[in-house]
């Protein structure tokens, strides 16, 4: 088996030579190479310029023994093309200039044509595939409808999601229409990424863990089912969330060939809650990368011991890698996953 | 049965005439009466001046048909007396001037004598009991060791708890010592509150939901067990956390006559995970109070329907009431809980 096959085989729950590993936000601020590019260009400029997006996508692949690349981009980019103004600050996170607060605002959102509206992402995917030359597969991604809806309604990040939940509970038809429009967008967008070379796609439902199971079932599940049933079946789809222990059986019902789980529960317990149908991705606490080699290795061994012998585990962090993470610990983590999983199998 | 008995009977899982209700942070910024006091005094001044603390503790009792009062105070106050400087800003939340980062910092933390160090809280409890005149019981409270340890190590609120988890994973003995010292403090402090008139005590482990079950079992559970076994058994102890679905069986093992659960899972499912041993408190999403009467009543009916006929439910929000919550909705919520639970029983 070549290294290039590890990740995709694990997504399909096929046996592998050792556990594949990639890290959410692996192209990011913790790398000096990234910071050098970022010093000269804004975050949005990096996303919108294929040459820059390709460069930072490839940086962690050149630096580390990772088993997959993920295209450098942002889940909020398609929202601009739906008619929302978007800006990023270094401190305050993303801000949307004209949030969606009424049914009319939802009606005003435009459908996108990824081939023209997000041509720069599709171009970056094509160029990255060329740059990778088959060494490791390339993952495309999209924000899941609920997480995007939260950003659109709140106008940025949020602590309590008061407005998003408010629309959900008092303007049900407007909320469902918003979810439908975002689902339409996501279907078109990820399928375009697949056509242009993405070999797997991850749906980031990063904020869905704040919902109750009841709200998820009513307001999110039907849309996620439609989304996963519309994604091109030729590549694996990864379904990711944080703080979702209570939602895991519903997320499994929603779909995805792989389900991402954070660090809160041991990965074998999470897998059991998923009925062991999908593959699983996770679940190291990103803060562990700030500790010692002993601590990292201990956690790697624990995670691997829980799933070894059951094909279908992709090693990852439970959430994105944090700024300031020491690169030598990233290197050590990746070797440790490969070495320990070879030893154990 | 008089109104004064409802809350304490429910804590002991005894039958009640209707479901008792109180709201975390019920003395707070959403009330005009509170804002008037706050305009003239700093938050810390309000905590440290018994007359002011009593006044704002009683405000929601005068304004609403609540079934319990909770002393106005803050979980961080005892930390000052352990040797940490403490300040509150209106925007940035609490800040601790000299965070705990090493074993020596932990060793430097002083033991407290609540009778002198927190005499103003104990005095406020006595005066509030007088002011209440037996109408409703008074709840005292304390931060749970892990939540306080997080504040001490991070130096304030945190998004990722990188430093707190870092000490946990790399300086195990320093972390355990810190938890021991905080447990000692909490035991002394809540028992003093009980001696001075608190008729129930709530342990706020507000941030514990960010921990994995493995870390909870190793670094938190032993200390929480000791804490609950040391609390004066003559009054009920409430054990509260947020985002704790994965931790509920361990929290039950740790102790508490009542366990607080947030809005993420239906209260009957949470109760089942607790083996139905303790009483349960919760679990309305605080954001629902920003919606409509129809929506509030629908959620109240759903929560009550799940537990009606099983004594031992105290109605509350899943987390503190949010600033800006309309007072008329608070009024409506409380009547709705009382009326609907009378109808249903």
Candidates B30, B34, B151, B216; catalytic one: B151
Of B162, B210, B285, the CB nearest to A322: B162
Verify whether the Cβ–Cβ distance B287 to A162 is below 8 Å. yes
**All domains in chain B, ordered by first residue:** 3-344 (3.20.20.210)
Cβ contact A170–B292 (<8 Å): yes
- Chain B hits for A272, CB-CB cut-off 8 Å, are none
Cα A88 to Cα A72, A95, A159, A186: the distances in Å are 15, 6, 18, 22
Partners of residue B211 in chain A, C-beta under 8 Å:
264
Radius of gyration from C-alpha coordinates of chain A = 19
Tokens of A6: 């590890």
**Cβ atoms A37, A52 nearer than 8 A:** yes
ipTM (interface pTM): 0.94
List pLDDT tens digits, range B238-260.
999 999 999 999 999 999 999 99
pLDDT beneath 50, residues of chain B: none
**Nearest CA of chain A to the CA of B163: how many Å?**
8
Nearest to A215 by CA among B283, B333, B310, B20: B283
Angle at B246 between CA B275 and CA A7, to 5 degrees: 140
The DSSP H or E segment spanning B93 is strand B93-96
Active-site annotation holder among B29, B101, B217, B264: B29
B-side interface with A, Cβ within 8 Å?
Answer: 160-162, 165-166, 169-170, 209-214, 243, 245-246, 263-266, 269, 285-288, 290-292, 295, 302, 322
Nearest CA in chain A to B284: A212
The beta-carbon neighbor of B285 closest among A212, A285, A287 is A212
User: Residue for token digits 């991604």?
Assistant: A141
CA distance, residue A161 to nearest chain B CA (Å): 8
Q: Which of B6, B38, B48, B226 is catalytic?
A: B38
Tokens of A242: 């944080």
pLDDT tens per residue, chain A (345 residues)? Answer: 788 999 999 999 999 999 999 999 999 999 999 999 999 999 999 999 999 999 999 999 999 999 999 999 999 999 999 999 999 887 768 999 999 999 999 999 999 999 999 999 999 999 999 999 999 999 999 999 999 999 999 999 899 999 999 999 999 999 999 999 999 999 999 999 999 999 999 999 999 999 999 999 999 999 999 999 999 999 999 999 999 999 999 999 999 999 999 999 999 999 999 999 999 999 999 999 999 999 999 999 999 999 988 999 999 999 999 999 999 999 999 999 999 999 876
Length of chain A: 345
Phi, psi (deg, nearest 5) at residue A286: -55, -25
Nearest in space to B44 (alpha carbons), one of B8, B79, B4: B79
| B160–A291 CB contact, under 8 Å | no
Residues of A in contact with B266 (CB under 8 A): 212-214
- Rounded to a whole number of angstroms, the distance from the CA of B2 to the nearest CA of chain A is 34
CA distance A278 to chain B (A): 21
CB nearest to A292's CB, from B170, B263, B266: B170
Cα B180 from Cα B174, distance rounded (Å): 10
Under 8 Å CB-to-CB from B183, ≥6 apart: which residues? B145, B223, B224, B226, B227
Closest partner residue to B166 (CB to CB) among A170, A246, A287 is A287
Cα nearest neighbour of B165 on chain A? A287
Residues of A with catalytic function: 25, 29, 38, 74, 151
Q: How far is CA B211 from CA B31, B96, B240, B241, in A?
A: 34, 22, 15, 11
Top residue of B92, B153, B287 to mutate, by most chain A CBs within 10 Å, is: B287
- Say which DSSP state B156 is in: B
- The residues pairing with B142 across neighbouring beta strands, listed in sequence order, are B203
- Please, are residues B27 and B34 in contact by the beta-carbon 8 Å criterion? yes
This prediction has a pTM of: 0.95
- Inter-chain contact A266–B212, Cβ cutoff 8 Å? yes
Q: In which element (H, E) is residue B258 found?
A: strand B258-260
Contact between A291 and B214 using a beta-carbon 8 Å cutoff: no
């Amino acid at each position: 088996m070549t290294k290039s096959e590890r990740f995709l085989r694990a997504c399909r729950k096929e046996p592998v030579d050792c556990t594949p590993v990639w890290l959410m936000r692996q192209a990011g601020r913790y790398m000096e190479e990234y910071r050098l590019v970022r010093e000269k260009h804004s975050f949005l400029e990096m996303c919108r310029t294929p040459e820059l997006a390709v460069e930072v996508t490839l940086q962690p692949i050149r630096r580390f023994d990772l088993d997959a690349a993920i295209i450098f981009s942002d889940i909020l980019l398609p929202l601009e093309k739906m008619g929302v103004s978007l800006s990023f600050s270094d401190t305050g996170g993303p801000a949307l200039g004209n949030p969606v607060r009424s049914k009319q605002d939802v009606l005003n959102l435009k459908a996108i044509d990824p081939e023209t509206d997000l041509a720069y992402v599709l171009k970056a995917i094509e160029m990255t595939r060329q740059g990778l030359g088959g060494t490791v597969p390339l993952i495309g991604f999209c924000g899941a409808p609920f997480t995007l809806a939260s950003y659109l309604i709140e106008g940025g990040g949020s602590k309590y999601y008061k407005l998003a939940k408010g629309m959900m509970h008092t303007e049900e038809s407007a909320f469902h229409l918003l979810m439908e429009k975002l689902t339409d967008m996501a279907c078109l967008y990820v399928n375009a990424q697949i056509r242009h070379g993405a070999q797997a796609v991850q749906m980031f439902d990063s904020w869905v863990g704040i919902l109750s199971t009841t709200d998820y079932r009513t307001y999110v599940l039907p849309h996620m089912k439609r989304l996963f049933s519309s994604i091109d079946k030729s590549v694996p789809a990864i379904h990711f969330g944080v703080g979702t222990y209570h939602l895991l059986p519903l997320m499994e019902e929603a779909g995805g060939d792989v389900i991402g789980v954070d660090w809160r529960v041991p990965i074998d317990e999470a897998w059991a809650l998923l009925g062991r149908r999908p593959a699983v991705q996770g679940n190291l606490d990103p803060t562990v990368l700030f500790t010692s080699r002993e601590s990292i290795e201990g956690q790697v061994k624990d995670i691997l011991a829980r799933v070894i012998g059951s094909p279908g585990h992709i090693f990852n962090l439970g959430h994105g890698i944090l700024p300031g993470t020491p690169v030598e610990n990233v290197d050590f983590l990746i070797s440790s996953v490969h070495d320990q999983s070879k030893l154990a199998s």
